[in-house]
Homo-oligomer: A and B are copies of this chain.
Amino acid sequence: MKDTKTYVEENKQRFIDELIELLKIPSISANSNYKDDMLKTAEAVKKSLLEAGCDVAEINETPGHPVVYGEKIIDPDLPTVLVYGHYDVQPPDPLDLWENPPFEPVIKETRIHPEGAIFARGACDDKGQMYMHVKALEYMTKNDKLPCNIKFMIEGEEEVGSEHLGWFIEHNKEKLKNDVILISDTGMIAKDTPSITTGLRGLSYMEVEVTGPNRDLHSGLYGGAVANPINILCKMIASLQDENNHITIPGFYDRVKEYSQEERAKMAEAPFDLKEYREKLNIDEVHGEEGYSTLERASIRPTLDVNGIWGGYTGEGAKTVLPSKAYAKISMRLVSDQDWKEISALFKDHFEKIAPKSVKVNVNTHHGGQAYVTPIDTLEYQAANDAYAEAFGKDPIPQHSGGSIPIVALFEEELKSKTILMGFGLDTDAIHSPNEHFGIWNYLKGIETIPLFYKHFTKLKQAEK
């Protein structure tokens, strides 16, 4: 019987090789051309669960991409941990900015990762962090260290809004019954500063289409006399934020939770170096909502970002066209207690209202999810805290993340259990960006820490009785 540290040390090369194989499959859920690769990835995850010790592992069809389910039940009377993760990844574009092909993983050292980091799409988000849990299970089963029951629910639609996971949960409530949900799909403040994510932002993702004339026109013959849908779209988007970068959609802030000076002061204690932040992004100034710090803007405040815009002639050279249509993908990060369906409706309503009569607009909702905040005075949080303390030799800092895992709020609602977000990635891992990577140290540290959560959680649960 080995302790986690030793076992991880002895098997690290295999752990890395196995993850690299998984990263080679381009499981891009947003693009229907990759349907087969999605299935291949699901199969690989299922196989790895069985090898790691699951008694049962299966691929569950949904109306969309399948969900991989696995379980090892050692005693129905013991507590059950449900691990959630996702095997799908973000589209890799823009491809030309990758230093290596996104699905041909390479290991490179970086300043922050002297032990090397695996560069590939999905390395951190979420294949790498999901696979930590598979290897943690392997450790626990191989070394007779599994103190409770364990279930896995690994989905393939997280990057496209978990469209059918709600459907899957509704149809499998009994099967998914658990005492706590464990997720590694967030980050930690720094390698020497473990943290537990206690807040997530919600999301409302919209797509708009602005139509001017019924065909592309010659900008000389019609320019100045007919509404140009690109100019109009720019004016409409510009008007969505005022000079203080406040969002102007009526009712947008109605439900936004305001934090007390004390709470804000506590958050401000998290280590943060604005100069280094700017230098890493090569920007002269940050930019955001008046009256809030950068950390607050990126965590407890809602946002409105254009994720994509296109229209007219975008090729080489010049084309003097007055286009018929212009498009934009616009997403809003939401905070508690905003309701994403309400915000999507407010956006659609407002965007249609501000459109001049000279154009027609079409507004559609892609997907969304609720914000999530978890209290830190719970048994579940305590167990996670103890696990980090044992692995890192210091207590983790509770932190709000700016990201969204739209499904987390639904878990509590449907499965009536708390969620613990144990993230091991770093903000600098470039998830969703070219050259995404995951530090080998972080990967192994995660595999080492996770079993400790099982130990402390089971202990605390038993003590409750």
Q: Give A contacts to B, CB under 8 Å.
A: 29-32, 90-91, 93-94, 97, 159-161, 187, 201, 203, 205, 207, 212-228, 230-235, 237-239, 241, 281-289, 294-295, 297-298, 301-324, 326-329, 331, 333, 356-359, 366-367, 401-404, 427, 430-435
Contact = CB atoms under 8 A, between A and B. Distances in A.
A244 to B, nearest CB: 13
A310 B309 contact: yes
A316 B31 contact: yes
Contacts of A221: 187, 298, 401-403, 427, 431
The 3 closest A-B pairs by CB, nearest first: A30-B317, A220-B403, A224-B303
B430 A224 contact: no
Given A239-B238, A307-B312, A402-B222, A366 B318 contact: yes
B286 A225 contact: yes
Interface hub of A97, A203, A215, A239 (most chain B Cβ within 10 A)? A215
Contact of A356 (B93, B235, B285, B311): B285
A294 to B, nearest CB: 5
Contact of A311 (B218, B309, B434): B309
Given A281-B226, A401-B221, A434-B216, A231 B298 contact: no
A169 to B, nearest CB: 21
Given A32-B316, A224-B402, A322 B308 contact: no
Q: DSSP class of A's interface residues: helix, strand, loop or mixed?
A: loop
A241 B231 contact: yes
Contact of A237 (B159, B231, B308, B401): B231
A402 B225 CA distance: 10
Given A286-B358, A320-B307, A357-B284, A431 B314 contact: no
Contacts of A359: 283, 287
Contacts of A294: 225
Nearest to A91: B319
Contacts of A207: 318
Given A298-B224, A319-B307, A320-B331, A217 B358 contact: no
A220 B233 contact: no
A91 B318 CA distance: 9
A323 B307 contact: yes
Given A215-B97, A305-B219, A317-B30, A283 B226 contact: yes
Contacts of A312: 306-309, 329
A358 B285 contact: yes
Nearest to A215: B433
A204 to B, nearest CB: 11
Given A285-B358, A287-B227, A306-B234, A30 B315 contact: yes
B401 A220 contact: yes
Contacts of A331: 219, 223, 318, 320
A454 to B, nearest CB: 28
A31 to B, nearest CB: 6
Contacts of A228: 305-306
Nearest to A425: B221
A224 B302 contact: yes
Contact of A318 (B30, B212, B220, B282): B30
A313 B91 contact: yes
Contacts of A310: 309-311, 314
